[in-house]
A = this chain, B = another copy of it.
Amino acid sequence: MSTATQASDPSFETKHVHAAILSTGDEVVLGQIADTNARWIAQKLMDRGIVPVQHAAVPDELEVIVEAIERLARSTDLLIMTGGLGPTDGDLTRHALAKVLKDDLVVDEGALGDLRALMARRGREMSERQARQAQRPRSAACLPNSVGTAPGLFARVRRADGRVCEVVCLPGPPGELRDMWAKQVENRLKPRAGFIVRTRLLHVVAMPEAEVSGLLKDLTARERVEGKALVGMTASGGVITVRIRVEGELSESQARAALDAADAGVRAKLGKHVVCEGDGRGIDLVARAMIEKLAQRGESFGCVESCTGGGLGALLTSIPGSSRAFTGGLITYSNELKSRLAGVDAGLIARHGAVSADVARAMALGGLRALGTTHCGAITGIAGPDGGSAEKPVGTVFLALASRSGGNGVERVDVRRLLITGDREDIRQRAGVGLLAMLHFAVEGFEVGVPRLIWETSDRKESPRIA
């Protein structure tokens, strides 16, 4: 193995119209992990107007990877590979790429320097094994990894028809992959001139998917009309995300006008149920929107969590800068801690059960005092799979929101009962989103007493308004 005197220039030249995505790794092919990278990359390509035409996943076997690269490179302008760049003997991507390029492997001095610096920062020696990650096929270039150890790779594969397929190899861990995509790949893509794809996502809470679908049925017809937006929707974790997409040979202003028209149509039907817009997972965007809204108003939020066990706090603090509005919370998983931390009367728990409107209300009020926030939410429910009864089946969740305005006097507490269908994870996630929905309506000053806003089912007797 020799040392290259100079790294290749990783600037893309090919016009990218069609792309293929190749995931490597036994763990993907054998079904041990879900390949979330392929979908994420496909979305990113679509956002840029490049159409993914095939995905493939192959095991950690040199000849199989070589065959897949050669096959996919034959019919596409861009091949995005993931995985197989690490230091283990099962990491074969650089070897496979070298074989396709008919190159030997050389040490990339820049990548080796980066790796040495990273190891030094971590206070560790660099092993021979770690150093392997700085190897690249001679005609390829390394793409810096600012998150982990393995650099990415960029290469041009000359096809039999004389054209070139540009190949990008990204690390498998999603955090490293996404960072490298943003810093090293996205700006270098060269989509077809004039053809654009633009999307907008609106995130909707406290309304069942079938109801959203019914309200939007005139907007979701599937015929493609140049310059007119397509509207679709997906539901996840209690948030319905309405997807608006326009594509074609359009100017930016034409595309924006089409998106705006569809956006206005959706909002006319769904009203305040639309919490926010933006790319990303609906549940994260709703959390971010609530942080922003509270921070703008100079208000704070805390929570007392039982069945979610800290999940709502974790969701809110996943947002950078969440400390502007979220200060903390109490995880009162045991009954003892409901009393000890949130001051819930043990007799109340004994009389009504820990999963009850009364205990939810007491948790929220106790939390408001213990945490000193403007708003305090409480969640208590039966996440399953065990613990349900005829009266309170698995999925029964009580949500309470206590808020104060001015001075320290408690102004109001709302309590809602949900009956959520789904597994333990669904129930916990949707319970947290339910509380964010209550907060949204409370902050917007929107009346939550009307039936449409009781998004699953409500027990009015147990949900009085306390002035």
Residue of A71, A214, A234, A423 with most partner-chain B CB within 10 A: A234
A385 nearest in chain B by CB position: B320
- What per-residue 1/0 map shows which CB atoms of A206-236 lie under 8 Å from chain B? 0011100110010011100000000011111
Of A97-105, A134-142, A171-179, A401-409, the stretch lying at the interface with chain B is: A171-179
Quick one: which of A278-319 are within 8 Å of B by CB? 281, 302-303, 305, 307-314, 316-318
A343 CB-CB contact with B under 8 Å: no
- What per-residue 1/0 map shows which CB atoms of A308-334 lie under 8 Å from chain B? 111111101110111100111111111
A426 to B341, CA, bound (A): 30
| CB contact between A309 and one of B173, B235, B317 (< 8 Å): that residue | B317
Of A21-29, A157-165, A266-274, A442-450, the stretch lying at the interface with chain B is: A21-29
Residue of A175, A233, A370 with most partner-chain B CB within 10 A: A175
A322 to B89, CA, bound (A): 38
Inter-subunit contact A336/B331 (CB<8 Å):
no
Closest chain-B Cβ to A321's Cβ sits at a distance in Å of: 8
A224 nearest in chain B by CB position: B61
A149 to B86, CA, bound (A): 46
A320 to B309, CA, bound (A): 12
Closest chain-B Cβ to A120's Cβ sits at a distance in Å of: 11
- What per-residue 1/0 map shows which CB atoms of A34-58 lie under 8 Å from chain B? 1110111111011000011111111
A456 CB-CB contact with B under 8 Å: yes
A191 CB-CB contact with B under 8 Å: no
Inter-subunit contact A421/B233 (CB<8 Å):
no
Q: Which residues of B contact A332 (CB under 8 A)?
A: 328
Closest chain-B Cβ to A329's Cβ sits at a distance in Å of: 4
Of A7-15, A123-131, A248-256, the stretch lying at the interface with chain B is: A123-131
A64 CB-CB contact with B under 8 Å: yes
A384 CB-CB contact with B under 8 Å: yes
Closest chain-B Cβ to A100's Cβ sits at a distance in Å of: 17
Residue of A35, A201, A322 with most partner-chain B CB within 10 A: A35
A38 to B32, CA, bound (A): 11
| CB contact between A46 and one of B25, B30, B45, B372 (< 8 Å): that residue | B30
Closest chain-B Cβ to A337's Cβ sits at a distance in Å of: 4
A144 CB-CB contact with B under 8 Å: no
| CB contact between A327 and one of B25, B71, B337, B371 (< 8 Å): that residue | B337
| CB contact between A31 and one of B43, B322, B385, B428 (< 8 Å): that residue | B43
Q: Which residues of B contact A243 (CB under 8 A)?
A: 26-27, 32
A461 CB-CB contact with B under 8 Å: no
A329 to B31, CA, bound (A): 35
A118 nearest in chain B by CB position: B421
Inter-subunit contact B213/A87 (CB<8 Å):
yes
Q: 14 more A-B contacts (CB under 8 A) besides A90-B220, A175-B423?
A: A27-B234, A30-B46, A32-B232, A35-B55, A60-B232, A90-B222, A130-B210, A173-B235, A308-B314, A309-B318, A309-B326, A310-B310, A310-B313, A317-B331
List the 8 closest A-B pairs by CB distance, nearest first.
A309-B317, A31-B42, A310-B310, A310-B313, A311-B314, A328-B337, A31-B43, A55-B57
* Sample of 10 A–B contacts (CB below 8 Å): A31-B39, A33-B281, A56-B57, A60-B232, A87-B213, A303-B331, A308-B317, A310-B310, A311-B314, A320-B386
